[in-house]
Amino acid sequence: MKNPPFQAPKNRGFTLTELAVVLVIISILIGGLLVPLSSQIDARNSHDTRAAMAEIREALLGFAAAKGYFPCPAIPTIASESPNAGLEGGRNAGSCIHPAGVLPWATLAVAEKDAWGRRYSYRVTPEFSNAPPLLPFNLSSIGDIKVLSSAGGVAVATVVPAIVISHGKNGNGAYTAEGTQLPEGSDADEIENRVLNTSTGVWSDGAVAKEFVKRVAPTVTYDDEVVWIAPGVLFNRMITAGKLP
């Protein structure tokens, strides 16, 4: 009896159902990797921005210790690489023409942008930006900036000489390197932290003049980073540098 001729097994491909199952599994695996990676990037950006703002704070204190006053804000609408970009703004009789704007990164020799690629907002009290400074300081009126826990909330700090703000990942209200301002968003606390470019070209504070918000923790709509210089810290540096008796 003859054996049947040998037949090679037929190559059976995947069915559509099997391919669909494989794709679903791959999607789940990739999604599980991307979520932690995104969180890690956000955490790193926040950490890097806080570190940069700590350096900015020291640069501002160093400038004040050397000069006796803080630099004026830079004009926010000047694009990077353009003339005067990042340099402190003009003065009139020694006082800053614009007390609010963006950080004068070129004057201070610090980073222009936060980890998300947007400029830092910056406001300084006129008493501490006059050049030369009006000495002695009136201790009852120094620092016209107030930091709140929320819009209309309790005061976190008062009589603040200078404040710096990163507008966080969402960038609401921030100025870009091109000199344009991003939309302000709908969060009342972030609106409070923006720099407002008025129709007359005057840069001022947000909805409530000279008040800013530093929340204890970020929320779904609020992710600003805020640092300020307390008057006691400033006086200590200036006394050490011989700028105050």
**pLDDT tens digit string along 179-210?**
999 999 999 999 999 988 776 677 776 556 68
Residue 87 or residue 243, greater confidence: 87
Residue 61 has a pLDDT of: 95
Report yes or no on 132 lying in a domain: yes
Residue 4 has a pLDDT of: 60
Q: Quote the domain boundaries for residue 173.
A: 17-240
Report yes or no on 37 lying in a domain: yes
Residue 126 has a pLDDT of: 83
Query: pLDDT tens digits, residue range 210-221?
Result: 889 999 888 999
CA distance 75 to 102: 6
CA distance 113 to 115: 7
Report yes or no on 10 lying in a domain: no
Report yes or no on 8 lying in a domain: no
Report yes or no on 7 lying in a domain: no
Report yes or no on 245 lying in a domain: no
Strands, E assignment, 72-153: 91-92, 95-96, 100-102, 121-124, 145-148
Count of domains forming the chain? 1
Report yes or no on 4 lying in a domain: no
Report yes or no on 3 lying in a domain: no
Across all residues in the chain, what is the average pLDDT?
86
Residue 229 has a pLDDT of: 93
Residue 203 has a pLDDT of: 77
Mean pLDDT of 86-113: 93
